[in-house]
Structure 1
Amino acid sequence: MESEHPPCPRNEGFKPASVMALMAFEAAPNLIFIQKADNKGYPWRNQMALPGGHWDPGDTSRKETALRELKEEMGISRGHVSTIGSLGHFQTINNRDIEAFVGLWDQEQEISFDRAEIQRVFHIPLAHLFSVHMEKGFCKRLPGIEELTYPFEDVVIWGVTAKIIHHFIEIVRKTVNPLYFDEQAGNLS
């Protein structure tokens, strides 16, 4: 399955970053998202994102970057997260190469987010993201940046975060029960 993930870019002009697609199992499985702070001049102002950030020279790996950023942004220590693996590399329009990891959070620690960087935290049900994915006809195709959006309540996930979510859902669709997802996608056309 690793070969199905987007590879690291060959162009060295990208600055490395990492994010964590953090799963929490409440009544149903959820992914944890953050809405960036509403700070004037902040390039990611009000955007929906997965917790994460830039690689630091002290980070021994991109996975370490994701875990360090998770602690800094959300107050969740690495001992409370089981990392499943990497979803691959995703590039942004501002020359970032983001490696996305999937982790399971044990929820034994409360989220304590950095209000200078984060405005809100969302627990978005996977069922909602899957439903949007199917309703918009995203199964088995990667839509363009303008079309690839995942609305939730009063926010919209778009850009590189939407690309990561799209890839995650497609991997789950192929792995968990592809017939169910393919049938649902067919019923929506």
Structure 2
Amino acid sequence: MITIAAIRAVADLGGDPVVPKHCREAAVAMILLQGESSFEMMFILRARKEGDPWSGQMALPGGHREPQDSTLAETAARETWEETGLDLAERGEFLGSLTGVRANPRSGIDLMVVPQVFELQVRPSQLTPNHEVQKVLWGDVTDMYAGVSRTDASFPEFNRQGTFPGFKVDDQVVWGLTFRMLNDLFDAVRR
């Protein structure tokens, strides 16, 4: 079974990981909410935007590190605020960082994305997504971890051939880079 305590045990509070010099740095926020009968993670459905390689896809809030961000946790918190209106500095507890995942360098994007884990005590009553976000969704972490929400889907709208593994969240599918980050988290918890 997966719990906040299990995730806390694998999250590293030791600071930012070493990112290869030629990679751009980015961070995403894995925002967890464990209730009495549910364990959820916040996702965003990205708005469609020309030139954005992740346009229209499910994602975790996040983005590129900016010069004013002293840590990747600050990057994730700033981006979450900008994209959803959720103030993690005020409403969340930082649990630590996970291992970074490289975005597909074959696509011309050499980017290291490092998940930053936060816990909320209460689900926000109102979020204010910006122009980058079509909507905010909450996925069942227990179902993802157990494989209950696991699915295979095709994405011709993203010029992808074949089917890809993912997790069903409402009427959307979390796949690709975000799916890899979730599986890395789940594998670390299982060890």
TM > 0.5 fold call: yes
Amino acid at match of 1:55: R
1:80 aligns with 2:91: yes
The equivalent residue for 1:167 is 184
The equivalent residue for 2:68 is 58
Question: Post-superposition shift, 1:82?
Answer: 0.2
- Partners of 1:166 and 1:20 lie apart in 2 by 15
- Partners of 1:132 and 1:97 lie apart in 2 by 26
Question: Post-superposition shift, 1:108?
Answer: 6.5
Percent identity (aligned)? 25
The equivalent residue for 2:158 is none
- Partners of 1:18 and 1:111 lie apart in 2 by 23
- Partners of 1:85 and 1:91 lie apart in 2 by 19
1:151 counterpart (162, 165, 168): 168
Amino acid at match of 1:167: D
Contact 2:84/2:130 (<8 A) preserved: no
1:165–1:119 Cα change, 3 Å: same
1:126–1:115 Cα change, 3 Å: same
Question: Post-superposition shift, 1:39?
Answer: 2.5
Cα deviation per residue 1:96-118 (whole Å; 9 max; x = unaligned)?
Answer: 11111111013364342333100
- Partners of 1:2 and 1:80 lie apart in 2 by 19
The equivalent residue for 1:125 is 140
Q: Any residues of structure 2 matched to 1:1-189 within 5 Å, and which?
A: 1=10, 8=17, 11-26=20-35, 27-77=37-87, 78-93=89-104, 94-107=109-122, 109-132=124-147, 147-174=164-191
TM-score, normalised by the number of residues in structure 1: 0.75
The equivalent residue for 1:183 is none
Q: How many residues align?
A: 163
- Partners of 1:69 and 1:153 lie apart in 2 by 23
Structure 2: gaps of 5 or more residues = 1-9, 152-162
TM-score, normalised by the number of residues in structure 2: 0.74
Structure 1: gaps of 5 or more residues = 137-145, 175-189
